[in-house]
Structure 1
Amino acid sequence: MNTENDNDEKSMTTGKAQRGPLRGMNPIVTLGSAALTLAAMALAITLPEVSLAWLTSLREALSPILATYYVALVGFFLVFVVWLGMGRYKNVRLGPDDEPPEFATFPWIAMLFAAGTGVGLLFWSIAEPITHFGGNPFSEEAGTPSAAIKSLSLSFFHWGLNGWAIFSVVGLSLAYFSFRRGLPLTIRSALYPLMGDRINGPIGHAVDIFAVVATVFGIATTLGLGASQMNTGLDWLFGIGVTSTTQLVIIAVVTVIATGSVVTGVNRGVRRLSEFNLGLSMVLLLVFLVAGPTVVLCAMLVQATGDYLDSLLAMSFWTGVSTDYQWQFDWTVFYWGWWISWAPFVGMFIARVSKGRTIREFVFGVLLVPSLITFVWIALLGGTALYMELTGTGTILEAVREDVAVALYQTIGTLPMPSEAIALTGGVATLLIAVYFITSADSGTLVITTIMAHGDPEPPRLQRVLWGLGVGALTAVLLVAGGVQVLQDAVITAGLPFSAVMLAMVVGMVRALRDERFAPVPGQKHRLAKEIWTGRDEVS
């Protein structure tokens, strides 16, 4: 009898219902998460004005606190992750020492990029730099060439290393404890060094519920932005109008498709859609590179990257106390809250597809590669819009001030191409939004149900369907209740409890890594000190 396999099987089924509609799920986590989600939906439906007023009041009360807390927290996460990737534990493998990566590099990178940015980047890649171009605390004068470079640099900051460090903390912890320590692929497992077997008790349940709720609201925010932008794109292409009804129809259609995708699992639906995403993204980038001011865009990318690196430390710990908290809260605090809310989802998804990677491969793959792709993306799309504004050939800033969702299509419309090519590019952009929309929804649903199934990488299909439809329903309700603003306020609030869980994960990871007595080098075996870590021969 293989004792370790028996032990792993026991850990996978702990607390899971053996029969009934919740078979294969942890009833406490599933019902607790469902209750909180349904309560939020009920409040938004029955008392929309009260819900909006409460979220607005909470946001205003938390602004000064979060402007300091989130900034310090995310700056610390970046330092911690870089230390892991360059320190003595960099060659520790996320799995047995001789296990190769589960996925090849290209599909791995494709899934990282699709799950971690997707719709949000499409929405903000032009809208954010254009908005900063119209005024920001770091530019003395708006609308100037120097303001254009700073607007790109600020956008790099919000979509670059700091954000991916948040994902890396969760993803690395989960991958390490699951694939190397033999614990279930769920959030509570990362707290084992702090709590031992008590992770299977009330505190462990609460941690997983926090993770599920944060993930649900993070996905809902992204899907709400995607629905708004898809509606704008379809109106731009076909003149159907921008209405709440249209956006609800878009959410319904995409939710059904995403639910079908998540039922097929990671190796089929999610992976193939992610690869298609990345390929279509490269096509859109190529159009902007060729049709736009190519030389100027390349120069903007290089200079903005230099400005970003030069001011990274200062921006990472800038709280706005010397000027006004409002800009900091509207932008940096919103982004950090959004990334933290997404961290259980993206972190677990990254962990799920990173089995067999070393810590160094994980850190620099997750931290650097998506960031570099993002910089190129923002520089080409956002840089094109900025060039149009600087040369007086576009009215993008004015349009974005009225509706941020039009930024992408307003910029496409100013490209020096035939009308047929402009329409085709707009169609490609809309298709890309739709596919990113789907991959965010399907991978998010898979992660939510994996947490509730106590780490089972193939949770029951019925639950995948129910939660896929549920996330779509929550998105629709919040969008109707207050639009994009209520989504942003909700995600900042939802991320706050999980930020405390992330700090505990850092402590647990450091404690566990101390038992990696000899950090292995590629091709060299070492003894995994399970008995040192747990005090017995097997992980319980």
Structure 2
Amino acid sequence: AFSLLVWLLLVVPIEPIIKIAFDGTGYYLQLLATGTWQFDSQLKTPDWATHWTYNYYFWWLAWGPFVGVFLAKISQGRKVWQFILVVVCIPTLVTIIWFATFSGAAIEWDRLNQAGILVAIKQDYSQGLFVFFNQLDWQGTVFIWASLLLLLIFVATSADSAILVIRELVSSEQNNRVTLYAWCLALFLCSFALLMLQDEPLNRSVAILGALPFLLIFLLQLVGFLKEFIREICD
């Protein structure tokens, strides 16, 4: 991923990328400070909140319990400031650089060459990246295949992390391998079925429905964290 990022920076103009990075970061901090979370009541086009704000809230709720347990597992023994730095600050910075690079490069390329990238995004936002890369000759072909490979790696890593969490959760049942394999098989079958259907809105709907039961778990995890945190301070 880092190699892909650096390679793209060598191919496209860097000035618009820097501008978008600073402007976007400033706007992001403004949203954090003002508490403007772009709900439907605050937008001229309320449908945007349905597809993004609410969708991502439920998306994080769905992954929150799994990611929380996974991070706790690999961060055991670390100090709180180390955890916040590596889990919150550095990923946020990398995300800003990543999105500023690809979005800034695509927007500037579309402005200079009338490449139809924004038109493609309005029709199907998942195709914008490939329309952009198709403009970059042979390097674009490399970028496309590298992006697909990274997508597979990231999805596989996420699934692997989820299975690791499942193993931790069922380990109290005297290492019941049947339960573990059943959960792994269920996860595989659900993922395979959604992949074969090739229906991106359906994937989001399934994620949202799956997140609802985890809302209670997430709140219980938060209460447990606060209790342990206070106990550590008092000790």
Q: Name the TM-score, length of structure 1 as normaliser.
A: 0.40
Residue 409 (1) aligns with residue 125 (2): no
Query: Quick one: which of 195, 216, 224 aligns to 1:500?
Result: 216
Specify the SS of the correspondent of 1:394.
coil
Partner of 2:61: 340
Change (3 A) 1:379 1:461: farther
**Among the aligned pairs, what percent are the same residue?**
27
Rounded Cα–Cα distance in structure 2 between residues aligned with 1:516 and 1:466: 37
Q: Say if 1:300 and 1:383, in contact at 8 Å, map to a contact too.
A: yes
Aligned residue in 2 for 1:487:
203
Of 292, 297, 305 in structure 1, the residue corresponding to residue 25 of structure 2 is 305
State the distance in 2 between where 1:337 and 1:326 align. 16
Q: Does 1:451 align with 2:175?
A: no
- 1:399-432 Cα offsets, whole Å, 9 max, x none, are 22333332221121223xxx33222222222221
Which residue, 343, 355, 372 being the options, matches 2:76?
Answer: 355
Q: Which residue of 2 aligns with 1:190?
A: none
Query: Could you tell me which amino acid in structure 2 is paired with residue 374 of structure 1?
Result: T
**CA-to-partner distance for each residue in 1:66-102, whole Å, 9 max, x for gaps?**
xxxxxxxxxxxxxxxxxxxxxxxxxxxxxxxxxxxxx
Larger fraction in helix: 2
The answer to whether residue 157 in structure 2 is matched with residue 439 in structure 1 is: yes
CA contact (8 A) 2:64 2:218 kept: no
For 1:422, the equivalent position in structure 2 comes to 140
Compute the RMSD of aligned alpha carbons.
2.5
Whether contact under 8 Å (2:170, 2:180) holds in the other structure is no
* Match status 1:469 vs 2:185: yes
Q: How does 1:104-183 map to 2 (within 5 A)?
A: none
Letter in 1 for 2:218: M
Contact 1:479 1:486 in 2 (8 A): no
1: CA distance between counterparts of 2:179 and 2:165?
11
Aligned residue number for residue 106 of structure 2: 385
1:5-24 matches, cutoff 5 A: none
String of CA shifts for 1:76-131, please: whole Å, max 9, x gaps.
xxxxxxxxxxxxxxxxxxxxxxxxxxxxxxxxxxxxxxxxxxxxxxxxxxxxxxxx
Q: Which is higher, the Rg of structure 1 or of structure 2?
A: 1
- Unpaired segments ≥5 residues, structure 1: 1-280, 519-527, 529-540
Superposed displacement of residue 300, structure 1: 1.6
Instruction: Classify 1:316/1:365 alpha carbon distance in 2 versus 1 (closer, same or farther; 3 Å).
Output: farther
Q: Which residue of 2 aligns with 1:328?
A: 49
Partner amino acid, structure 2, of 1:494: G
Q: 2:231 aligns with which of 515, 521, 540?
A: 515
Residues 317-353 of structure 1 deviation map (CA, whole Å, 9 limit, x = unaligned): 4432144542212101101100110112211111111
How do 1:253-272 residues align onto structure 2 when only pairs under 5 Å count? none
Provide closer, same or farther for how the CA distance between residues 493 and 390 of structure 1 changes in structure 2, counting only shifts above 3 A.
Answer: same
CA distance in 1 between counterparts of 2:99 and 2:203 reads 23
Aligned to 2:39: 319
Unaligned ranges ≥5, structure 2 = none
Corresponding residue of 1:157: none
Tell me the secondary structure at the aligned position of residue 368 of structure 1: helix
